[in-house]
Amino acid sequence: MASSTSTSASTPAWNNTKTRFLTSSNHLIGPNSSLVSICPKPNSRISQNLIVSALQTPSILQIPKQAPMKASTGAIEVSCSPVGKENWNLVQKLAAMALDAIEDGLKAREKLHALPKTADPNVQIAGNFAPVSEEPVRQSLPVDGKIPDHIQGVYLRNGANPLFEPTSGHHLFDGDGMIYAVKFDKGSISYACRFTETQRLIQERAIGKPVFPKAIGELHGHTGIAKLVLFYARGLCGLIDHTQGIGVANAGLVYFNNRLLAMSEDDLPYHVRITPSGDLKTAGRYSFDGQLESTMIAHPKIDPVSGELFALSYDVIQKPYLKYFRFSPDGRKSKDVAIDLQKPTMVHDFAITENFVVVPDHQVVFNMSEMITGGSPVVYDKEKVSRFGVLDKYAENGSGIKWVEVPDCFCFHLWNAWEEPESDEIVVIGSCMTPADSIFNEYNEELKSVLSEIRLNLKTGKSTRRPILSPGNDVNLEAGMVNKNLLGRKTKFAYLAIAEPWPKVSGFAKVNLSTGDTKKYFYGDRKYGGEPLFLPRNLHSAGEDDGHILAFVHDEKTWKSEFQIVNSVTMELEATVKLPSRVPYGFHGTFINTKDLATQA
């Protein structure tokens, strides 16, 4: 398999992106592998507000709460726990050797059995799903065509990019977070990609190997239980500090209250700053000035009218399994609203309307006891009936939620929702996937993702569901968006990735949600990309579709990547930016305009 030929000042290029993963250095790691700039000197400004606390980290890895020292800048929390081999005492070094030997034995035993495709790194991160090295800022990139005048700012996309070669099971979602950025500044275009410096990544890099269990790829059966025990043991021995977060921050991106936040649903968000040159610097784990004490899913919603941010947090061990909360435009958090679920459920996404939040409670649930019998803790519950809950945005508690059953429906993502008061209905637009848990568990059946209109009648408590595309025009549509200026209001169009051949994306579709009329754009022969981002021309455009669609694209013939800009009215390519290095297929993105960049915190 071909590999990227570019090199980076901060991470060496990998000789073989499929089988060899090299560690990288970073300015945060000192010559003796200690965290020289994470733990400030006593007289430095960051240390003036030292506090002792530990944020809860409810996830599939339930960590006993501890209280290490932590430096706080108010909103940003960074660990001051020593990590790195050079800081270990003799007892810790002996413990590390013993635990490593046990782990090596587990891995040797694992290799006696074939991994399922959903946990096989040779499948999950092959080809252009393979990771890349960090790329420092490259300026003055070549362009074919003309960049539209309104595109001024920076496009950012998140992705899973493992720092180390997987030594056992690995799922695509398990990789470390890396952000890819293209900045447009008055005709000059730059590119950079950087790891989000999560606590997990910092500690593993200092130790020189992966030590945090991978929630999807590794936690299967008795071996998964053993790896959890090893993880706890390393924490108890002081070899790692798991109280400061275990997340990878590799999924969603949102710009809110003057901060770019990188998110995955297993941790708090991470605040990442964009430098004037277009580079990326992780500021730290972000708790909204200590207000957020739980995880936050990777798809919070910003209401385009009120400017508020709405979010959820789920727990897989203890009730409440799901919580809802919101933030005012200046970052003040509401109290948590517990949503009563009978089982811990995967809630990857949700929707908002003008007055409500719409919460899915589907059939993909967490059952930790499955590990005892050799299975995955992420399972499809065939006895459960899928439903959607509708709750007032400003509810003080969850007692007023109205549940409407929608049988055999699993939407990994919801694109929009709105109210139709004349019929007492909430309209939800989402992609219904079957088999529901095929992303996490192996099936012979091919995955189908059907763009659907789901109507929830709040008066009768009944639902209807219809496919939006006509049968002859049906394609897998997964990952995309509507015009963000109309989120929560009735929209005419959605812009969604054509996820074919699955899991690659060959182009995108502009879909009329009322009629099902579809216009398709394909990236080109053996060119594949990811989620399309619709960027409206401005807030006051006459047409809902007046703007451009932005996407990273990779050419599998030349093994080079580019950035395409497509007119969303004509569906014609207007400009292509040639990128200096390969960009792997990834997850979700956002665009921050120049005006907002100037007000970064």
Specify binding-site residues: 299, 348, 413, 588
DSSP, collapsed to helix, strand or coil, labels residue 207 as helix
Distance of CA 156 to the CA centre of its chain: 12
DSSP, collapsed to helix, strand or coil, labels residue 419 as strand
What whole-number distance in Å separates Cα of residue 437 and Cα of residue 417? 24
Taking CA atoms, 89 is separated from 69, 86, 452, 476, 547, in Å, by: 19, 8, 58, 54, 59
> In the beta sheet, which residues pair with residue 451?
431
Amino acid 10 reads S
List Cβ neighbours of 179 (8 Å cut-off, separation of 6 or more).
Answer: 156, 157, 158, 159, 193, 194, 196, 253, 262, 272, 280
List Cβ neighbours of 216 (8 Å cut-off, separation of 6 or more).
Answer: 118, 119, 171, 173, 174, 376, 378, 440
How buried is 370 (Cβ within 10 angstroms: 0-12 exposed, 13-18 middle, 19+ buried)? middle
Tokens 């990139």 sit on residue: 141
List Cβ neighbours of 110 (8 Å cut-off, separation of 6 or more).
Answer: 168, 169, 223
Find the helix or strand (DSSP H, E) in which 448 lies: strand 448-457
The answer to whether 477 touches 496, Cβ cutoff 8 Å, is: yes
DSSP, collapsed to helix, strand or coil, labels residue 206 as helix
What are the binding residues for Fe cation? 299, 348, 413, 588
Distance of CA 570 to the CA centre of its chain: 31
Return the number of other C-beta atoms located less than 10 Å from residue 383's C-beta: 5
What whole-number distance in Å separates Cα of residue 597 and Cα of residue 595? 5
List Cβ neighbours of 552 (8 Å cut-off, separation of 6 or more).
Answer: 157, 180, 529, 530, 561, 562, 563, 579, 583, 586
How buried is 152 (Cβ within 10 angstroms: 0-12 exposed, 13-18 middle, 19+ buried)? middle
Two tokens at 316? 């897989």
What's the DSSP call for residue 111? T
What whole-number distance in Å separates Cα of residue 43 and Cα of residue 595? 35
The answer to whether 333 touches 291, Cβ cutoff 8 Å, is: yes
User: Phi/psi at 47 (nearest 5 deg)?
Assistant: -90, 5
What sign results for the dihedral spanned by CA atoms 403, 408, 409, 410? positive
